[in-house]
Chains A and B, each alone.
Chain A
């Protein structure tokens, strides 16, 4: 039981990493270097923690917390962070590059310090005893997998339709995109708000899974770690941040045997990763290459050219 328990718990953390990676990826996929994800993640977590422990009508006293209440928390968290993202986004998305990054770091820090100082929001201690909708990590992992699959499906749809193409056009050249009649402000705002929704929903799941919530879970470190998910996995297709989030969340856990050295190794991986694969692990070219060689394998079993999948593709 011990090992299985641990594995499911690790899987759950990896899935949360993948969701956060997707949240960071979205603004980035239209060229916006936003680091606001942990702020909205914290809003989701705090909302879930407050509602489930302070509102008895949601069923916090029941042996298993109803899943419908979790859904309700998600809706409230999405509404709160969506509205905030709408307001903040209108202001900050006029900024570019490193300026936008720093403005969003400031936003995350303001949210964190405010939560830390408001007893009603958990204060410095945090909120404990968040009720459990599942009695084992496996249940959480299954639920989160469904959420992740749903969001991945939405992202895949997005990449193929007009809005997704508009985002890619803005990333490549914002001015040219505007000249083509794309409403750049509207598209960037849409990406920012949707990113906030994904982060808030992830926060709700995390709060229940962790059983407690405090302000430190949404801080500057998280801003950069989640950004690393995307850089590491690749920022040009939605699969990149998913892979990056899964791998980089698992890494410190898998490195547990090296003990005290594990964070040093983790740091080295973040340091060396972008040098070896500047585009990230998953790029559209590599996916195409993989698809081609899979087709080749299907036509001539055993006679395909698997090396093609490893081709780094054009830089």
Chain B
């Protein structure tokens, strides 16, 4: 107990916060379109690279942009939201190229699984082509005057983890307030109920879809930058693992449920943090095992609405 427990709890919670941000991005898109955006992991990765470049990081020796460095070096607190905006722009582009053409043609929505994957493959390989496959690290000194670690209840806690938790909490609260309390949030819920009816009621469904994509890209970009600071940017493919885990979190919490995504993220984060070091190789199994069991016992997820069946 004591300091070890707090350490474990914080590890789990900050990991879970990342998963929750990821799952929320999926949820936003899923709630309006009913499909999963498989390019979401690539957007997360881009967010991390954008952050790295904006704080003045230099590109390594491989890739077309070898040695490139932005003439400015922004502080982390400014670079992170800008990277989020960059990621949001890319997410909007993905919507335009991989999702909207399918809707315009009235094609099977499940085709978006393939087109979005194609967009993801293009993005990941574009990153590799431009900046190479090596891993980058955002220096922990980027937080300016903040100390790297602080003492909390006798435990040594990394400031990054607290920051991650703080940013995630603020974002989740803001998102819930927006969805539940504002006119445009209500419009989003209307579109997720039935896009056609929403359109008939004067809601611009296309605009709501764009908002959902933009927000999901913004969240993924922030999560990417924060993970880049807390761990590292382990090459162009590093978002894919998080992306898969986010998918598990999404189903665990309930597809389309915002509180569900948060609960699922925290649960899986905590469960993974509790896996003893000797079994660390099996850490990945925890998320998928939990997911598998939940799907069988309660397919709608912990907080999801029961699945409607056609009769």
A residues with a Cβ closer than 8 A to B are: 33, 91-92, 94-99, 101-103, 105-107, 109-110, 113-114, 116-117, 175, 220-221, 224, 227-228, 231-232, 260-261, 263-264, 266-275, 278
Q: Mark B250-264, 1 if CB is under 8 A from A, else 0.
A: 010001000000000
Chain A binding surface SS class: helix
B261 to chain A, nearest CB (A): 14
Chain A contacts of B299 at CB under 8 A? 94-95, 99
Q: Is the CB of A264 within 8 A of B292?
A: no
Given contacts A102-B295, A113-B281, A270-B118, contact A278 B107 (CB under 8 A): yes
Q: Is the CB of A260 within 8 A of B291?
A: no
Say yes or no: is B129 at the interface (Cβ < 8 Å to chain A): yes
Chain B contacts of A263 at CB under 8 A? 121, 125
Restricting to B29-57, which residues have a CB under 8 Å from any CB of A?
35-36, 38
Contact residue among A92, A98, A101, A109 (Cβ-Cβ distance under 8 Å from B288): A109
A-B contact pairs, 30 of them (CB 8 A): A94-B296, A94-B299, A99-B299, A101-B113, A102-B247, A102-B291, A105-B247, A107-B288, A109-B285, A113-B285, A114-B282, A114-B285, A117-B282, A227-B113, A227-B114, A231-B111, A232-B114, A260-B129, A263-B125, A264-B121, A267-B119, A267-B120, A267-B122, A267-B123, A270-B117, A271-B97, A273-B114, A273-B118, A278-B107, A278-B108
Q: Is the CB of A270 within 8 A of B114?
A: yes
Say yes or no: is B101 at the interface (Cβ < 8 Å to chain A): yes
Q: Is the CB of A267 within 8 A of B125?
A: yes
B residues with a Cβ closer than 8 A to A are: 35-36, 38, 97-98, 101-102, 105, 107-108, 110-111, 113-115, 117-123, 125-126, 128-129, 240, 244, 247-248, 251, 255, 281-282, 284-285, 288-289, 291-292, 295-296, 299, 307, 310-311
Q: Is the CB of A92 within 8 A of B295?
A: yes
Residue of A113, A263, A271 with most chain B CB atoms under a 10 A cut-off = A271
Chain B contacts of A97 at CB under 8 A? 110
Q: Is the CB of B129 within 8 A of A113?
A: no
Bound state CA distance, A224 and B295, in angstroms?
Answer: 20
Bound state CA distance, A102 and B95, in angstroms?
Answer: 22
Q: Is the CB of A261 within 8 A of B129?
A: yes
A28 to chain B, nearest CB (A): 10
B146 to chain A, nearest CB (A): 36
Q: Is the CB of A267 within 8 A of B105?
A: no
Bound state CA distance, A114 and B292, in angstroms?
Answer: 15
